[in-house]
Amino acid sequence: MRVVPDYSAINRANWDERVPAHVASRDYAVERFARDPSFLSGVVSFDRPRLGDVRGLRGVHLQCHIGTDTVSLARLGARMTGLDFSGPAVAAARKLAAAAGADADFVEADVYEAPVVLGSGEFDLVYTGVGALCWLPSVGRWAAVVASLLRPGGRLFIREGHPMLWALDDALSDELVVAYPYFEQVRPVVYDSELTYVETDVRFSATRAAVWNHGLGEIIGALFAEGMRITAFEEHDSVPWNALPGQMERGSDGEWRLAEQPSRLAASYTLQAEKAVRTGQAASSRTGRAARRPGPGSSPARESPSKGGSRLHGGESSGRRVVRASSRRTFAAVTKTFRSRHDRRESITFPHAELGGAHHSRVGERLPECWSGLMA
């Protein structure tokens, strides 16, 4: 590992060069969006039961890359804005949206500048797809961006590669070996590869990339610190790309899992969180959401990895409240409770209006009961 003075410039050059190969790859299925108006990306299709009804919501997709997930969410009825730091990626996303006839616009900007560029409190939904957080040096700054973008009562939806997966050595084809940091570090891990994660014969000249891992506790704790409430969390044994070549096989659902004993590895997770509604804001927030949703008979709005090649997938503050001390004490107490009651596991059901009823979430198979107070 070595310090990278300007990680953003290095990573932008890496992504800029790979855009044409990604657009041409069958893995992104760009041409199918124009041919089939009902087609959705594999990432969005996987989480569609968890997304619930997004019709009429104003959403932003952070680190959207070439926009396939953004367009898919627009096809489900959300009014989407995609944001990415790569100019060529944004240009490709705009072209895709036009060809697909999708209600989506795209903005070129660094994700940390999103509240400045897009405005604070403007969105009902912040969406982040697979392979996004690993390109960011600070998950705390990211959580502040999410909280700033959301309206009170708005929600975050993220499907991401599991930090345990990011910590494994993907160069090995016969065993699982932890080779990289699980927790966030100040200095990035720097990789050099002429490959990418989609099937292509192209070899690239912008080969360096700087990446960071973020532990689950760091991600969840950062959201707590910004006043977000976790409403759903589920780990999966699969990812939408071949993250460990030689050790994974593709299933009928298009997802990749370990060929032998896939239950050994949590490969990805889906997390949802909601921005708290302060006293006095509840009525106005409910009224605003009702006004934005189409009524009966109306027409709804019209409707992503690469550390050393195949490993990393995906695209690319303001208003932070001073609640860190109490949030850290709360999270520390919960962590202590979690550890002391490790083997007492009971299922928890979380009501979520956007999901049309109760939604069951789990860590592994079930969430320990001591988490219920945080998600109430």
* Structural domains of the chain, ranges and CATH numbers in brackets: 7-316 (3.40.50.150)
- Beta pairing, strands 189-192 & 348-352: unpaired
Please give the span between the terminal C-alpha atoms of the chain, in angstroms, as a whole number.
41
CA distance 89 to 87: 5
Q: Are 28 and 64 in contact (CB under 8 A)?
A: no
Identify which of 44, 126, 119 has the alpha carbon closest to the alpha carbon of residue 82: 126
Q: What 8-state DSSP symbol labels residue 101? A: T
- Counting Cβ atoms within 10 Å, is residue 363 exposed (0-12), middle (13-18) or buried (19+)? middle
Q: What 8-state DSSP symbol labels residue 188? A: P
CA distance 226 to 45: 29
């367009």: which residue's tokens?
A: 71
- Kindly report the backbone phi and psi dihedral angles of residue 255, in degrees, each rounded to the nearest multiple of 5, phi listed first: -90, 155
**CA 219-93-113 angle, 5° bins:** 45
Q: Residue 185 has what pLDDT?
A: 97
Q: Say whether 148 sits in a helix, a strand or coil.
A: helix
The token pair that represents 359 in the structure block: 């939604």
Q: Residue 108 has what pLDDT?
A: 98
Q: Half-sphere exposure of 171 toward its Cβ, with a 13 Å CA cutoff?
A: 8
Partnered with residue 351 across adjacent β-strands are 358
Q: Residue 196 has what pLDDT?
A: 83
CA distance 121 to 147: 8
CA distance 97 to 100: 5
pTM of the predicted model as reported, rounded to 2 decimal places: 0.75
CA distance 334 to 57: 33
Question: Which residues of the chain are under the pLDDT cut of 50?
Answer: 1-4, 283-376
What are the distances in angstroms from CA 170 to CA 166, 175, 178? 9, 9, 10
Q: Residue 331 has what pLDDT?
A: 43
Q: Residue 5 has what pLDDT?
A: 59
